[in-house]
Structure 1
Amino acid sequence: MITQEKADWRIRLRAARLAAGAAAGEGRALAVAALAWLETFDAGHAPSAAGSGGAPAGGSVCAYISMGTEPPTEDLLGELAASGRTVYVPVCEAGHQLSWVRWIPGVEMARSMLAPVMEPVGPRLQFGSLGPVSAVFIPALAVDESGVRLGQGGGYYDRFLAATAHLRVAAVVHAHEVLPAGTLPHDPLDAPVTHALTAAGHRALGSASH
């Protein structure tokens, strides 16, 4: 039942994105919102990628390369790198797992052999070997105020989130895709995200909002 509910939601959300088209200036606004969010905790301490305690924030972040009707992340990636942060983006591996590759402007790209996405070419690293990561930006079709995220259905990020509950994770969506708590279907295996990022700004979700 939950699986069918999710499938129905994905159909509606994808159709809505296609009908809405791209908003002028959204990519730049996302970049500004992302930096503003990071600055709220840059002066403190960030959780370690390996979960081994705090370290100075702002050194590394994980993001992703947008495709199709997703909110555009090109400016976001560029601004993260320009701010002096080390930026990693995911690459798909067998078994619906993710590895991470360093992203810099102009990095060589190649189409994934496992998913319809473009990936940077470079050494593939396990998340736990990245060192301190202050925040992770991930794609979503929608998110609700309790932190429930609806992805594309591939399962890559579900597995990643299940192992990284200690991190700050922002789902990147269009502003109208942040929905009231309890709206989206979910099951016990769905790990919540802590924040939503839109062109309108950032907001804490679920327990992170208290």
Structure 2
Amino acid sequence: MSAIAQPYVPFGSGDELPVVKEQFRRAIIAERDKRSPRELERAAHDFAQVVGDLQQVRAARTVAAYAARASEPGTSPLLDRLSRRGTRVLLPVLGTGLQREWAPLTSVEELEIRAPGRPPEPAGPTLGPDALAEADVVVVPALAVDTAGYRLGHGGGWYDRVLEHVRPGVPVIALVFGEEIYDADSQPLPVEPHDRRVHAAVTTTKLRELRDWSEPV
């Protein structure tokens, strides 16, 4: 594997933040692409181990998570572990009128890609966007987070909108590789008014708490 760097795009108050974010995305995805399929498979099992062992996740009756696309840290081992444990797992699905909703996972094997570029989805009926309020823990994708809790996603702002349904006190955790956690003092991520913060980041080796669990997203 080539050495994985932490790319940074310097920006100032006069810069267009959507443009800066897209530059960050391209640079981070380029670094992710350096990992081999074997390394990504091993990392997916490591993420499952760290997340699955968290006290908050062990105590959760319902966990909202996601089925990863090829460019994201793998989640199949995590979904399988939670399902076998008896935890109810909610996954994002594309609902009526292209609205993003949630549906329960029955098994990893039944997930299907319904259109190019979309993540795998459960085949069952959807529960509506406000089903996220039933989650005791929320695991979200991210390209990067900084130590203030700000998250860089793939664009579109979908998670920034749906996270308003999270109950107060429910932890929101992002999955990232170790080099994708940025120091908010020296290398902050670009932030827009609609951006919501996460409480913690999980890497392949540990949990990194970023904010008090009780703070709203």
TM-score between both structures, scaled by the size of structure 1: 0.82
Distance 1:114-1:165 versus aligned 2 partners, 3 A rule: farther
Distance 1:198-1:95 versus aligned 2 partners, 3 A rule: farther
State the Cα RMSD in Å. Answer: 2.5
Distance 1:113-1:94 versus aligned 2 partners, 3 A rule: farther
The superposition leaves residues 126-167 of structure 1 with CA deviations (integer Å, 9 ceiling, x where unpaired) of 253466421011111111111100000022112112443723
Deviation at 1:123, TM superposition (A): 1.1
Counterpart of 1:206 (choices 199, 211, 215) is: 211
Gaps of at least 5 residues in structure 2 are: 1-15
8 Å CA contact retained: 1:144, 1:180: yes
Which residue number corresponds to residue 26 of structure 1? 43
Deviation at 1:74, TM superposition (A): 0.7
Which residue number corresponds to residue 18 of structure 2? 3
User: 1: CA distance between counterparts of 2:44 and 2:57?
Assistant: 22
Which residue number corresponds to residue 74 of structure 2? 72
User: 2: CA distance between counterparts of 1:73 and 1:126?
Assistant: 22
Residue 111 of structure 1 aligns to a residue whose secondary structure is coil
Residues 1:186 and 2:191 are matched in the alignment? yes
Equivalent pairs: percent with the same residue? Answer: 32
TM-score between both structures, scaled by the size of structure 2: 0.79
Which residue number corresponds to residue 102 of structure 1? 104
8 Å CA contact retained: 1:60, 1:85: yes
Residue 27 of structure 2 aligns to a residue whose secondary structure is helix
The superposition leaves residues 54-94 of structure 1 with CA deviations (integer Å, 9 ceiling, x where unpaired) of xxx42110111111131111100011112221111111246
User: 2: CA distance between counterparts of 1:163 and 1:106?
Assistant: 25
Indicate the structure with greater helix content: 2
1:1-210 residue pairs with structure 2 within 5 A?
A: 1-22=16-37, 23=39, 25-37=42-54, 39-40=55-56, 57-93=59-95, 97-113=99-115, 116-129=118-131, 132-164=134-166, 166=168, 167-182=170-185, 183-208=188-213
User: 2: CA distance between counterparts of 1:94 and 1:190?
Assistant: 25
8 Å CA contact retained: 2:133, 2:165: no
Which residue number corresponds to residue 6 of structure 2? none
The superposition leaves residues 174-200 of structure 1 with CA deviations (integer Å, 9 ceiling, x where unpaired) of 111111125210111101011101111
